[in-house]
Amino acid sequence: EATLGAYREMSSAALSLGHVDVLYSLMILSTNHPLWLMPEMRDRYSAKALLGKAEGESVDELRVSLRPHLGKLIPKLLRACNDPDKQTREQMSNLWLALAGGGAESRAIVSQNLLPTMDVLIQDAGSKFWRARVGACGALSDIIIGRSWQDLGGGGIEVDDEGSGMMATASIRLIRLWKITMRALDDVRTPVRERGESLGRGIRALTIRLCDPTVSDVTQDSDIYMSNTQRKLREKQSEISAEYAATVSLGWLVKYGLNQQCAEATGICISCLLGIVDVAAPCTVQPVLAELIGSLLMAMSGLEPAALNYLTVRAAGNDTNLQGNTGPDRYDQIERLRINLALSGPIAGALHKCLEMVKFVDLEAQKRLIPELDSSLRKGAGFATRAATADAVGTLCGTCPAAFYFAGSTMSNPTVRLLRALYFASERERGATAKDKMTHALGSLAELAPGKAVRILSLKACERYSESSGSNNDPSIRKAAAATIRAIAVRASNHMADGGPKDIWCRKVLPTAFLGRHDKDAKISSLWKEVWDEGGSAINSMDGRDGVFGVLLQEKLLPYIVKSTVLALQSTSWANRKTACAVMIELSDANVVAPISRSTIDDSSFSTEDIDRLRQRAKSSTVLLSECMRIVSRNRIWDGKGDVVNAGAMIAGKWAITPVHGKNTEFSEKCIWPLVLSKECHNDLFVGDGWFNLSEGKQSDENDEVGCDDANNDAGEMDELNSEDDTALDLSGDNDLGDDEQLNGEHVESDVEGKFGAHSVVFSGFCRVLLDQALRAGSNNSTEGVLPYKASALSGLTALLKSVVPAKDSAVYDDIVEHQHFMYDLIAPSIYSFVLGHQFSSGKSVPPLLIARSLECIASAMYDGIGSNAIQGECSDAVGLLKYFALSTGSKQPAWTVRQMSALAASSLVANMQSSILRKNEIITTVIECSTQALKDKKFWKVRLAGLELLLSLVSRVGNQKMSDVDSEKQLIMEAILPYKERIIAVARKSLADNESQVTATASKITLTMAWWP
């Protein structure tokens, strides 16, 4: 059958013309070949033997006679010349050479009949016969080489590739060529696919040539005879034709070419698209530039091998299972490698060139690009696309800022929509590299976005940060929120000058940043620190009190920081509560929640600005202290509650150096004082509430169970880590983001204490609550977390008692000492009984740590003149106390912390003991014995130091030489101690050889103090 292929093709050509005699002419032409001149072939298969003598007809005459029929013959002959059968292909090639002559003559014949030939071949390329498809594709690949736009039919831009109702133009033919090429590359027959590859290379070269405005059909010899006008017209026509070709080609390639299911077809389309971008001018691709950039962005991930995603997920999962926390780092390394590969490929190069073209096109064409970027970010199926989109946004913000200016600040504004998409994409993105690129782009875009949209996004980020803790703990969301605010503060600082009608930068963003600086994640904490520094410098100059020397930014924003801190304290997340405690401690250390510094307490020294600052500080301190007391007074113990105790004690200690309640001074009437020192309110926690009278029934309900820390989402993070990368991110959350700036509690700054129900705390009530928390026996005293909290409660009580220390020359010295006496009588009996019992009421032994902290509390509560009235109880008997302390420093006490604190408590007792009692020989010998026992400890230097502190307190009661001469009591004390002078000095000198520097320093002080004694 194959041997009859040539005959069948010639017969088909003759029948299509309607002239049977043409078949004989073709057969005669097919024998006009040197093969037939061979002797052995001439006689057997010559034309004369087969057809007889063709009288009067030569080959040339046959060619001339077939000229009128070439329009219909050429498609069939060319198709037959590319037949898959070799014998048929050779015979029909010989026939074609005999008919057309070959070379330039053959090309000229094809050019004369190019359009009908091409149309027929395009139709045959879709035939149901595979041999016809092979021949048509091969013929098309031959005849389209080097053709121009006019050769293909000319005309304008047509998108109707079927050409219904109109004559086929170059646009339609070009689209049809691309369609049959894609179909051939995905054909079921291998020969068709092979010819399709050849046609694909040809159509790629043709398309690139048509889109190049510098290519001309005029030869160099003809160009030298053209005038300048003619040359300019020719160049103009070339540019127009190139624009038509680029618009048609890019439009089809972008819409259909890059979405082909066949990999070979997609490769040809991408190669052609890159070639067009290389040669095209900006004006040429302007109509489709936006769609082109969008398609290139989508192709960044769409053309990435699926094996890379598989490798990323599996490698990260295996590393997490085997090495714990190294999984995310390995994932980030692979992700960084994939992004670098994608951004260094040919598609990235074409994308870069297209972005460079954007600044040369019209503004309307630039604006059409913004929705495409938003679409790529939302629909991108891989992080390479999203990372490339973020880079494109950053580039365009610098080169074409005018493209981002649209009317309105809602989601109808493409810039606002893109801004929100960047935030939610960075929040949901897993890889660090893509996150950083999106955050960088967001900061650049925020500078050009409407101020209202930026403020709304900042509020949303702050809310997301606050919500992503506790049982909803999500470090990625917290980091995305912090990075977003940081990008705005650093790259769009111009918006910080306008906080809008709600002043969100001062009310919400900077207070959240102040709290975020204490985040447990070091990376998140550093981001918030930058927000505080950058945003604070912008806000600092806006405050009206810049003229007041020494006013910190924390104090300017104190009402808003306090509001955020209280909300964190009220949160169900213990991590948020710990953060709030760290903030309160920082404010206390900076003396922001403390009375303003003055050398005197005289009211006349305060200016109007100082009084306003004092009132603001007092209000804020009252709110914080009240909330701390509400938390501490609850029976439930949780991890971090000790931090609340420490923070509350620090704030209360700052306000404890105030006039005693009841003194009607103008200073105390300027504002509500956070802390009240009053003996009349001994049953109150807050002034006038009678808390201790009402709490007897409350405390019967024991609820001191220790909770657990914030829920850990490791399992959820592992599930997310092992999920697919090549999926679009869910960015539907930006639809829930409102278009109005709304702040909760917007009047807090005008009445902070009213919002949270703040009241002045009674000093004695605070101490009693801490004492009750420390000494109360519950059902879980051995549970982990209870002991540290009780130790923190006793430490807080110690710090609170130490804060009330009167100055000898103070006008309220006697009142403060009287209050100290009241406090000692209030708390010392309970602590002393607890120490003496060495066990809880439940029968369980007391840990040595609590014994040591209790002794420290007793030492801090001692007042000047203690021991003058021993009738009040054991805790007021100085002799009995000193003997107990001496016993506790002995070798029978195994806990070194108890020995240390016993010696320090004895030192405090000696320093505050009434002089008449101190002069007793029993007291002095007990002191020396206690100190000697402590100095025998060779292992713990702090115990030895405490023993020397006891001796130093004793000899310091004498004072210096000048004071002892005028003070008879000091003279009597010295005379009582003189018999033991040599013993004391010997002990001190022996300690001078100690290895610890603090011990030797204290021993030196003792010898110097006694150097002038007789």
pLDDT at 660 over 90: no
Please tell me the distance from the alpha carbon of residue 502 to that of residue 440, in angstroms, as a whole number. 27
How long a stretch of residues is the chain? 1014
Residue whose token pair is 């050779």: 90
Please tell me the distance from the alpha carbon of residue 563 to that of residue 512, in angstroms, as a whole number. 10
- Six-digit token string for 927: 């002191």
What mean pLDDT do residues 91-95 have? 77
Which of 61-75, 263-277, 772-786, 966-980 shows the lowest per-residue confidence on average (mean pLDDT)? 772-786
Question: How far is residue 731 CA from its own chain's centroid?
Answer: 16
Alpha-carbon torsion, ordered 28, 33, 35, 36, to 10 deg:
30
Q: For residue 624, what pLDDT band results from cuts at 50, 70 and 90? A: very high
Q: For residue 223, what pLDDT band results from cuts at 50, 70 and 90? A: low
The per-residue pLDDT for 742 is: 61
What is the amino acid identity at position 536? G
Mean pLDDT across the chain:
80
The per-residue pLDDT for 792 is: 92
Please tell me the distance from the alpha carbon of residue 837 to that of residue 840, in angstroms, as a whole number. 8
What mean pLDDT do residues 317-328 have? 52
What mean pLDDT do residues 221-225 have? 58
The per-residue pLDDT for 741 is: 63
Residue 312: strand, helix, or coil = helix
Q: For residue 80, what pLDDT band results from cuts at 50, 70 and 90? A: confident
What mean pLDDT do residues 857-863 have? 91
pLDDT at 46 over 90: no
Please tell me the distance from the alpha carbon of residue 1011 to that of residue 526, in angstroms, as a whole number. 55
What mean pLDDT do residues 176-205 have? 93
- DSSP count for the chain of H helices, then E strands: 52, 2
Closest CA to 30 of 15, 12, 20, 45: 45
Please tell me the distance from the alpha carbon of residue 478 to that of residue 301, in angstroms, as a whole number. 27
Residue whose token pair is 């009317």: 407
pLDDT at 489 over 70: yes
- Six-digit token string for 401: 């800022």
The per-residue pLDDT for 695 is: 56
Q: What does the pLDDT look like over 224-261, one tens digit per residue?
A: 666 777 778 888 888 888 889 998 998 898 888 888 88
Which of 180-184, 479-483, 673-677 shows the lowest per-residue confidence on average (mean pLDDT)? 673-677
- Six-digit token string for 259: 């979405």
Please tell me the distance from the alpha carbon of residue 976 to that of residue 981, in angstroms, as a whole number. 10
Instruction: Judge contact between 453 and 412, C-beta under 8 A.
Output: no
What mean pLDDT do residues 755-768 have? 81
Beta bridge partners of 675: 761
What is the amino acid identity at position 24? Y
Instruction: Judge contact between 681 and 751, C-beta under 8 A.
Output: no
Closest CA to 726 of 374, 342, 345, 370: 342
747 backbone dihedrals φ, ψ, rounded to 5°: -100, 15
How far is the first Cα of the chain from the last one, in angstroms, to the nearest whole number?
A: 141
- Six-digit token string for 646: 């420490």
pLDDT at 903 over 90: yes
866 backbone dihedrals φ, ψ, rounded to 5°: -65, 145
Q: Model-level pTM greater than 0.75? A: yes
What is the amino acid identity at position 999? V
Which of 474-478, 669-673, 805-809 shows the lowest per-residue confidence on average (mean pLDDT)? 669-673
The per-residue pLDDT for 516 is: 93
Instruction: Judge contact between 22 and 63, C-beta under 8 A.
Output: no
- Six-digit token string for 339: 């992004």
Strand positions, DSSP E, 619-707: 675-676
The per-residue pLDDT for 316 is: 67
Residue 391: strand, helix, or coil = helix
What is the amino acid identity at position 603? D
Q: What does the pLDDT look like over 712-740, one tens digit per residue?
A: 444 344 344 344 455 565 555 565 565 56
C-alpha Rg value of the chain to the nearest Å = 47
Higher pLDDT, 226 or 152: 152
675 backbone dihedrals φ, ψ, rounded to 5°: -125, 135
- Six-digit token string for 173: 């033919």
Instruction: Judge contact between 439 and 404, C-beta under 8 A.
Output: no
Q: Is the dihedral of CA 405, 411, 414, 418 positive or negative?
A: positive
Q: Is the dihedral of CA 191, 195, 200, 203 positive or negative?
A: negative
DSSP string covering 557-606: THHHHHHHHHHHHTSS-HHHHHHHHHHHHHHHHTTSSSPPP-SS--GGG-
What is the amino acid identity at position 423? Y
Q: What does the pLDDT look like over 604-623, one tens digit per residue?
A: 456 777 788 888 888 999 99
Helix (H) or strand (E) holding 624: helix 608-632
790-812 residues labelled b (16+ CB within 10 A) or e (exposed): bbbbbbbbbbbbbbbebeeeeeb
Q: Which of 19-28, 434-443, 756-765, 967-976 is modeled with the greatest confidence?
A: 434-443
The per-residue pLDDT for 207 is: 93
Q: What does the pLDDT look like over 536-593, one tens digit per residue?
A: 887 766 554 444 555 788 888 899 999 999 999 988 888 889 999 999 999 999 989 9
7 backbone dihedrals φ, ψ, rounded to 5°: -60, -40
Instruction: Judge contact between 620 and 562, C-beta under 8 A.
Output: yes
Instruction: Judge contact between 1008 and 989, C-beta under 8 A.
Output: no
Distances (CA, A) of 23 to 43, 54, 904: 22, 14, 128
* 190 burial level (CB within 10 Å; 0-12, 13-18, 19+): exposed
Q: For residue 282, what pLDDT band results from cuts at 50, 70 and 90? A: confident
Question: How far is residue 879 CA from its own chain's centroid?
Answer: 64
Please tell me the distance from the alpha carbon of residue 252 to that of residue 54, in angstroms, as a whole number. 54
The per-residue pLDDT for 56 is: 40
What is the amino acid identity at position 662? G
The per-residue pLDDT for 16 is: 67
Please tell me the distance from the alpha carbon of residue 484 to that of residue 496, in angstroms, as a whole number. 14
Q: Which of 187-191, 284-288, 593-597 is modeled with the greatest confidence?
A: 187-191
Higher pLDDT, 626 or 68: 626
What mean pLDDT do residues 786-811 have? 87
* 64 burial level (CB within 10 Å; 0-12, 13-18, 19+): exposed
